[in-house]
Amino acid sequence: MKQLNVLAKQPRGRREIVRVLPCLILLLSFCAGALAQTTNTEEGTANPSFPVTHVLGLAGTLPNTPGSLTVKAGSLRFENKKQGITLLSTVSIEAIFLSQQDKQVGGVPMTLGKAAVPFGGGRVISLFSHKKYDDIALIYRDDDGGIHGAILQLPAGQGTKLRDELVSQGARVGPQWDPANGKAAPEVSDATN
């Protein structure tokens, strides 16, 4: 009775807050739990998508085509809005080579723009207008046993992730190239190496 009296003495707005607050806390805790569960599920099953440029080699896709790449259900899937989807079985991949390239950004328009800058100012711009990319070279075989090569260009740092994804889906890494001396290093047994 005393408690009721205390509540009765408080102003009406405050009483509402006191009633709603526990419900809100309860609701928030449920939401947090649900969100955490969803995230875990996505981490467990989702296939990350890589923004790539197909430099050359994938059958049915034009060279220098930008697109997105996913690796799932034992196949590498390259998707471009105009050219559609290209699939490549990861089991057919015999070697994956990872290397880094340093390229000037902006293409032809940027080159022309730099050439137009007076007093050699374009050269100064060139000093800063370059970006590093990861190049992934894949060697795979077609149904007749013929060897094919494909090159994919990714933002720096993404190459290792894509290689790991491919290896987890059955692709072979093959002997690795050592940029220091150019000799083939022993085959990598684990993609994390």
Partner 1 sequence: MQLISKSTVALSRRLMFLGIALSVFIAHQGNASAHNGGDREWSVQVEEVNSGDINLDPAFRVAIYENLLSELGKTNKFENIYRSGDRLAASTPDMLILKINVRKFDAGSETKRAVTTVAGATKLKVQCQLETRDGRVVSDNLVEASVRFFGSNMRVTHNLAHNIAEAIKKSTLPQPTHVSQDGQTPDELSMAQVETNR
Among 62, 73, 142, 187, binds partner 1 (CB under 8 A): 142
Residues 6+ apart with CB under 8 A from 112: none
- What are the beta bridge partners of residue 132? 102
Per-residue contact string for residues 46-85; x = within reach of partner 1 by CB under 8 A: ---------xxx----------------------------
CA distances from 48 to 39, 90, 130, 158 (A): 14, 16, 27, 11
CB of 15 within 8 A of CB of 3?
A: no
Rounded to whole angstroms, the Cα distance separating 68 from 66 reads 7
Rounded to whole angstroms, the Cα distance separating 40 from 165 reads 18
Rounded to whole angstroms, the Cα distance separating 27 from 136 reads 47
Among 103, 113, 156, 187, binds partner 1 (CB under 8 A): 103
Q: C-beta of 136: minimal distance to partner 1 in Å?
A: 8
**Residue 137 binding partner 1, by CB under 8 A:** yes
**Residue 132 binding partner 1, by CB under 8 A:** no
Q: C-beta of 33: minimal distance to partner 1 in Å?
A: 47
* Residues forming the site for partner 1 (CB under 8 A): 55-57, 95, 97, 99, 101-104, 111, 114, 122-123, 126-127, 130, 135, 137-139, 141-142, 144-151, 177, 179, 181-182
